[in-house]
Structure formats: C-alpha cells, structure tokens
Amino acid sequence: MRVICSSELTTQCDRLLRATPSLSGLVHMPGASADPPGDLFEAQVERDAVNDLVAALMDLKVQERGSIEIIEPDTWISARALHAEQTSPGADNVIWPQVIERAYAQSKITGTFLAFMTMATLLAAIAVMTDSPILVIGAMVLGPEFMAVIAMGLALVRGRRSLLRQAARTLILGFSFSVAVTVGFVAIARLVGLVTEADVSAPRPGVSFIYSPNVWSLLVAAIAAAAGVLALTTSQSTGIIGVFISVTTIPASGNVAVGLVFAQWDQVRGSALQLLINLTGMALAGWVTLALRQRMSDRTSRELARHSPRRLWRERVARRHRGS
C-alpha cells in the first residue's frame, strides 16, 4: 500500500502502519510529497489486513488531503512476506475498496459501455436470425452488463445507494438503447431483403433456448453469478469468461429486437422473460455470495486482531465491529 500523508497526520499514520498485523515491510520517506506537503509511506501487508488498514487510514482523514493506493505485485520475493502469507487467517480475503472501485468504474454509463452493449446486441440479433450458436457465444462474451448486475448486489451488501442507482440506471439505459438501435438495424435488414419473416418464424434449434426460459435458466444464472463474484473478489480471478458465456441476457435482448420488427410476440414475451429471469438470478446470487464473503472477511478481521500482539490494532478493529 502506498500512502501520501499530509504533515499533520504523519505521526498517527506511522503509528498505525507499524501496528498493522502481517506487516512485512515499511518504507517511510519524510517530505517526499510536494503537494500536499507531507510524507510518503509504502507498506507491504497481507490481504487480510488491507480492509481494516484502509478503514483506519480513512478514519484519520488521510484521503482528504493525501491518497491511499492499493497495489498487487505480480512477483514478491520476501521471506517475511511468505511467512505472513502462510500464517494469515485470510490469505484470499476480499479487498473491498478494490472491488467497490471496480464496480463504480465498470457500472458507469459511458459511450464505450453503450457501444459494447449495442455491438453485442447486434451480434445477438444476427445470431438468432441466422440460427448461429457461435455468434450467440460471441455476443455473450462481448456484452459488458455483468459488472453492472453484480454492482447492485454489492451496493446492497455494502450500503452504497449511489452505486445501486448508478448500476440500475446503466442497465436500463444500456438495454433500452441497444435494443432500439438493433430494432432499426433489423428493420433495415428486412427492408433490403437480408432477412424475411419466414427466416425468423422457421424452427431454429440452435437458438430456441433464448426465447424458451425454464427453471434451468434461473439456476444457470445463479451459478454463473456466484462464480463471477468469486472470480472478481479473489486474488485468483480465473473463469470469468465462462461466466459471460453462461447467461442469456444479451441474446435475449437481441431476440426482443428481432421479434418486435417481425411482430413475433411469443418470442418477444419469451425473450423478455428470459432476460428478466437471468438478471434477477444474477443479482440475487451475486448479493448472497457477496454477503457471505463479507461475513468471512469480518471473521478474518476479528481473528487477525485477536491473535495480534499489537494493542492499537486490536482496539481499532474492536471499535469498528462494535460500530457496525
């Protein structure tokens, strides 16, 4: 962790960092910060101590005039760090400030988000018109909506109303805009003869699951969201692509657009229900998984404080958990 600390907080910041359990290295550079005038600290700590350390630094108001930066090194060669990791009660603990920052950044409505949503929905529309499962997978991977869905669960767990509003607005605007553009695209394709009503009313076994939701749709969405949350909240973020190609959100919105153009109301209703089931299942599963992860993080924090010989840290964690 890299901390820029204003001069009046230097003593408190130094004391706090030295009291941190699983600290394996501390660098203090007095006067290294030119603006604001103050000191630069670099502390090497295990994941289990990061959440409480960030909270303690924010209690000191370090962030108001300085900054707190969390850095995960790719390679770290240190006997003391290895010992700290091996004795850590939560070596794979969630670093909540990191997850929250990522959620805010990736659930924001931007031109790039709308562009990816639109391109993914266009691919999904082409996939359902041509009965191409490969294109369906491509649309799933391209869609950027997963983090916005998970951000809603995170907002509930961490009490971030602004994040909940932002994520909900992003999903509503993202799906509305991309479906509207795709409706125009499909209408043009129909007008020039690229696709006919016979094409979309004929049996399409490769993509029929998109507008035929069932209980498996909910189960798949829940499992995929839980796996995605685990990947996003651990230091071993693998398998996220598998999540993207498991949920039928973008393909469903693409088929809604196709159904609207050709007045295939059964497919519009089926696809809309599929979209609703997937979004609901993902949001609920993400919320439950994050709530469980938070309970595990809190337990790790208390265990770390209980076994720490540093009284300052024990008192700090005790106050924090009494307050929550």
Which pair of structure tokens corresponds to residue 220?
């798949």
Q: Which residue has the higher pLDDT, 92 or 157?
A: 157
Predicted local distance difference test score (pLDDT) of residue 19: 85
Confidence of residue 315 (pLDDT cuts 50, 70, 90): low
Predicted local distance difference test score (pLDDT) of residue 198: 87
Cis before 36? omega within 30: yes
Q: For 114-162, how does the pLDDT look when each residue is reduced to its tens digit (9 = 90+)? A: 999 999 999 999 999 999 988 998 999 888 998 899 899 899 888 889 9
DSSP state of 310: -
C-beta neighbour count of 275 within 10 angstroms? 24
- DSSP state string for 207-234: TGGGG---HHHHHHHHHHHHHHHHHHTS
Predicted local distance difference test score (pLDDT) of residue 123: 95
Confirm if 112 and 245 have CB atoms less than 8 A apart. no
Confirm if 171 and 148 have CB atoms less than 8 A apart. yes
Cα separation, 135 vs 140, in Å, equals: 9
With a cut of 90, say whether residue 76 has pLDDT above it: no
**What is the value of pTM for the model shown?**
0.82
Q: Under the phi-then-psi rule, with left for phi > 0, alpha for psi from -120 to 50, and beta for the rest, what region is 296?
A: alpha
**Over residues 185-193, mean pLDDT:** 94
Question: Coil, strand or helix: which one is 49?
Answer: helix
Q: What integer best gives the mean pLDDT of the chain? A: 86
Predicted local distance difference test score (pLDDT) of residue 2: 94
Q: For 213-240, how does the pLDDT look when each residue is reduced to its tens digit (9 = 90+)? A: 989 989 988 988 888 888 777 755 555 6
Cα separation, 118 vs 174, in Å, equals: 8
Confirm if 120 and 143 have CB atoms less than 8 A apart. yes
Q: Which residue has the higher pLDDT, 250 or 245?
A: 250
Identity at 63, one-letter amino acid code: Q
Best-predicted range by mean pLDDT (9-18, 21-30, 179-188): 179-188
Question: Coil, strand or helix: which one is 134?
Answer: helix
Cα separation, 210 vs 109, in Å, equals: 26
Q: For 251-304, how does the pLDDT look when each residue is reduced to its tens digit (9 = 90+)? A: 999 999 999 999 999 999 999 999 999 999 998 998 999 988 888 877 777 777
C-beta neighbour count of 160 within 10 angstroms? 18
Predicted local distance difference test score (pLDDT) of residue 165: 94
Cα separation, 260 vs 115, in Å, equals: 21
**Over residues 157-186, mean pLDDT:** 94
Cα separation, 153 vs 159, in Å, equals: 10
Instruction: Give every strand in the sheet of 2-6, ordered side by side.
Output: 23-33, 38-45, 2-6, 67-69
Cα separation, 50 vs 233, in Å, equals: 13
Q: How far apart are the first and last CA of the chain?
A: 25
- Provide, rounded to the nearest whole percent, the portion of the chain with pLDDT above 70: 89
Predicted local distance difference test score (pLDDT) of residue 244: 63
**Over residues 5-32, mean pLDDT:** 90
Residues, the chain: 324
